[in-house]
Amino acid sequence: MRIHIHIIFHFIIQSNLSLEMKVSGSDPIDLRRVNKNDQSCEVFQKDQLNCCFEIINDLNMSTTTIDPIDRLLDAAQNGKTLIKNRDVLHFTFMPNQILHRDPEQEKITQSLLPILMESRPSNLLVYGKPGTGKTLVIKKVLSKIQKRVEEGSFPIKLVYTNAKQETTLYGLLVSFGRQLGLGSQKTTDEKMWLPSTGLSISEVFNRILYVIEKNETNAVFVIDEIDYLAELIQKTGKDVLYQITRANERLTTGSLTLIGVSNDLTFKERLDPRVISSLSEEEVVFTNYNLPQIREILDARIAVAFEEDVVTDSALNLCSAMAGRESGDARRALDLLRVAAEIAERSQMSTVTEEHIRMAAEKIEENKEVIALRSYPLHEKLLILAIMKSSEISTGEVYSTYKSLCKDIRQKELTQRRVTQMLSEIEMSGIIAGRIVHQGTHGNTKKFRITVSPDMVKTTFKDEMLLEDIL
């Protein structure tokens, strides 16, 4: 509906007159006949406020602007979205064919073939950087094996956990136990009950072996990001990994096979030598994808996730180049594409362009760093703050500043040895960077610097009451 300009102009004149008359104590002025959308409308003996309400209401009724919520909901209901299958753009999606990983699929399948012959396979260790397809391949191989033995007399149980998502050894073992059938409620069989807290680590593991033996289960434990489990073991001093790798020596029926998946090629250096020999009976290494391979992976996903010609060739090339050049990480490439598509969709664009890819890269990088900063325990946050206060600082200087910060917030400081370990762990995440500095006769020292902006650190930590006075 259109409101003519002369109406508003007339209203302004009349409003001024009305105001003058009210000030002098006169009665409200009568407004004369005005034209609205070529329809006559009589307005008699109304004060200025009522006139305002009437014209504002007309304006509201006349606007062509659609509510932003309704606009997005209408578009979704009418199918006006860029992405027709969002699951395909997530790294957990299992495609019919895993591209450029045939040799790795063959090696892992060969390693697990004894299951089909009703015997226990060797423990397996799988290496590779994030986004190289390790978990995807393992899950595919295991799911196909599972289908083949489902109706057989050799029961197998595939048990999966991600060590990074578990903050304690107890929680990780409980996850295993639940998947094997250990309940959270007491039963007549005490050993078939596994409480969420309260037992010793050794007792939890004993109950896991008990249920395996009782059900004659051939269990395959898949521990993704097993390097984080190695860190938990270091912190607690518990030899859980050793117990898992030697479990078959205690089992009379059933079996336990371990598949460890690691992003860190050097993590074995932190393990007990007794564990290394039994854990890495077989090993498979996943190399990084190259740029053409990433482009082909994205192309295959785009064909399923989008309508034709939604993603421009230039956007696809840029997305592939960013992921291929930086890390060979297919997961990052998929994340870039998904976020870029969401940005384009929210802007009501019909295609995904290079600019959307660049915007997605900025958004992902910022989110990743903020999430990492928030996830650190208190003392690791204090170390980050200690490093932030200098442009470059040695390990000894970090510890000195850290102790001072602990004193400021009345926290008991950790040992220098533990602090050194924590610095290495933080460095792995990329939030800080360290370099070896040669000091001649004084030997070598390691100096650290923060890799994110101090403003980001302050903004992320500002809501923590303990830290607000030292930011």
Q: Which domains does the chain have, with CATH numbers?
A: 5-62 (no CATH), 86-91+290-372 (1.10.8.60), 102-286 (3.40.50.300), 376-461 (1.10.10.10)
Interacting residues of 339 by C-beta distance below 8 A, sequence separation 6+: 360, 363, 364
Interacting residues of 358 by C-beta distance below 8 A, sequence separation 6+: 318
69 against 315, higher pLDDT: 315
Is pLDDT of 18 > 50?
no
Interacting residues of 349 by C-beta distance below 8 A, sequence separation 6+: 82, 356
- Mean pLDDT confidence for 435-463: 84
Whole-number average pLDDT of the chain: 82
Q: Work out whether strand 444-450 and strand 393-394 pair parallel, antiparallel, or are unpaired.
A: antiparallel
**Residues 23/41, Cβ–Cβ less than 8 Å:** no
Is pLDDT of 58 > 60?
no
The SS3 call for residue 438 is: strand
Of 236, 253, 233, 255, nearest in space to 245 by CA: 255
pLDDT of residue 291: 93
- Mean pLDDT confidence for 103-128: 91
**Residues 178/170, Cβ–Cβ less than 8 Å:** no
Is pLDDT of 330 > 60?
yes
Highest mean pLDDT among 147-161, 283-297, 430-444: 283-297
Q: Hey, what are 315's tokens?
A: 């956007």
Query: What are the CA-CA distances from residue 325 to residues 202, 318, 329, 461 (Å)?
Result: 46, 10, 9, 32
pLDDT of residue 43: 45
* Rounded CA separation 116/152 (Å): 9
Q: Hey, what are 135's tokens?
A: 């978990």
Is pLDDT of 105 > 90?
yes
* Rounded CA separation 19/62 (Å): 27
pLDDT of residue 124: 92
pLDDT of residue 65: 63
In this structure, of 19-28, 245-254, 351-360, the range with the lowest mean pLDDT score is 19-28
Q: Work out whether strand 156-162 and strand 218-224 pair parallel, antiparallel, or are unpaired.
A: parallel
What confidence tier does 280 reach under pLDDT thresholds 50, 70, 90? confident
- H helix or E strand, kind and range, residue 261: strand 255-262
Task: Report the half-sphere exposure of 73 (CA within 13 A, side-chain side).
Answer: 5
pLDDT of residue 208: 95
**Residues 421/405, Cβ–Cβ less than 8 Å:** no
- Mean pLDDT confidence for 334-346: 93
* 82: amino acid identity, one letter: L
Whole-structure pTM value: 0.65
Q: How far apart are the first and last CA of the chain?
A: 55
158 against 23, higher pLDDT: 158
The SS3 call for residue 98 is: coil
